[in-house]
């Protein structure tokens, strides 16, 4: 007759034998879950832009060593851009409340003819955005065109109409927020107008030194 101790010892031996495998899989899973993929390195080129205070910003070189959350907008956008800007503002507020340092935010206008620094400053002021680590940027038409191409961002102007002396037109454009690490590498992309803010904040934390 086989004793109860035999079965007990057999179960213990099998459990002990698979514990290292379970531990290995757990460590591997957690490591993969936290690591973000390496995307395009945007630090090879530099673009001279102006922020909402008409201060020169070298993009992206001035952000070296910082985590950057960036997007492209235009201030006349009726829907996607305000939603994207608001989502970035909420992320900014959340990481500030959690005491997370070294994170910058940038919204770059792809409509530089209309989005001058003063217009961008008014846009930020209306939304009560904390500009201590959030820049609204514009530049020459040539610089902006090169920059959005580097991000594989699409912005196509529609038909133009006039109202008095004002030209009225809208853009069909990509809806994205980019997470860029301290070395200028794009680590993730998100749908800007409907971003999962908890996911973005978790990804920011994973890039902290």
Q: Where are the domains of the chain?
A: 1-35, 47-206
- pLDDT(1) > 70: no
Please tell me the class of the 47-206 domain.
alpha beta
- pLDDT(25) > 60: no
Check residue 89 and give left, alpha or beta (phi > 0: left; psi -120 to 50: alpha).
alpha
pLDDT of the residue at 198: 97
Q: Are 46 and 59 in contact (CB under 8 A)?
A: yes
Bridge partners, residue 136, by sequence: 107
Token representation of residue 188: 């993730």
pTM over 0.85: no
Q: Where are the alpha helices (DSSP H) in the chain?
A: 4-34, 80-97, 117-126, 141-150, 197-206
SS3 186: strand
Burial of 107 (0-12, 13-18, 19+ CB in 10 A): buried
Lowest-pLDDT range of 28-32, 56-60, 135-139: 28-32
Q: What is the pLDDT of residues 171-185, one digit of tens each?
A: 889 999 999 999 999
Specify the higher pLDDT residue, 4 or 43: 43
Q: Are 203 and 35 in contact (CB under 8 A)?
A: no
Percent of the chain with pLDDT over 90: 72
CB atoms within 10 A of CB 108: 27
Confidence of residue 33 (pLDDT cuts 50, 70, 90): very low
Distances 10 to 19, 22, 159 between C-alpha atoms, Å:
14, 18, 77
- What is the pLDDT averaged over residues 156-169? 67
Confidence of residue 9 (pLDDT cuts 50, 70, 90): low
Element (H, E) at 58: strand 56-59
Residues 191, 174: Cα–Cα separation, whole Å: 9
Specify the higher pLDDT residue, 5 or 184: 184
pLDDT of the residue at 165: 61
Residues 68, 191: Cα–Cα separation, whole Å: 16
Sign (positive/negative) of CA torsion 177, 180, 185, 188? negative
Q: What is the pLDDT of residues 59-108, one digit of tens each?
A: 999 999 999 999 999 999 999 999 999 999 999 999 999 999 999 999 99
Q: Across all residues in the chain, what is the average pLDDT?
A: 86
Q: What is the pLDDT of residues 34-56, one digit of tens each?
A: 578 888 999 999 999 999 999 99
Q: In the chain, what is the straight-line distance between the N-terminal and C-terminal CA atoms, in Å? A: 61
Residues 59, 141: Cα–Cα separation, whole Å: 15
Residues 143, 57: Cα–Cα separation, whole Å: 13
């Amino acid at each position: 007759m086989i004793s109860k101790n035999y079965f007990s010892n057999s179960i213990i031996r099998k459990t002990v034998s698979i514990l290292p495998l379970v531990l290995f899989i757990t460590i591997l899973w957690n490591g993969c879950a936290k690591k973000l993929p390496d995307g395009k390195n945007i630090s090879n080129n530099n673009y001279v832009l102006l922020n909402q205070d008409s201060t020169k910003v070298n993009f992206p070189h001035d952000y070296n060593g910082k985590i950057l959350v960036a997007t492209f907008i235009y201030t006349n956008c009726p829907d996607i851009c305000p939603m994207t800007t608001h989502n970035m503002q909420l992320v900014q507020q959340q990481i500030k409340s959690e005491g997370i340092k070294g994170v910058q935010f940038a919204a770059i206008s792809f409509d530089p003819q209309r989005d001058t620094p003063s217009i961008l400053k008014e846009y930020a002021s209306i939304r009560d955005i904390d500009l201590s680590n959030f820049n609204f940027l514009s530049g020459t038409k040539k610089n902006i065109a090169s920059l959005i191409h580097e991000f594989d961002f699409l912005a196509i102007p529609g038909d133009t109409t006039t109202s008095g002396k004002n030209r009225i037109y809208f853009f069909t454009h990509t809806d994205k927020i980019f997470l860029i690490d301290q070395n200028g590498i794009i680590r993730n992309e998100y749908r800007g107008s409907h971003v999962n803010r908890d996911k973005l904040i978790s990804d920011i934390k994973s890039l902290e030194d």
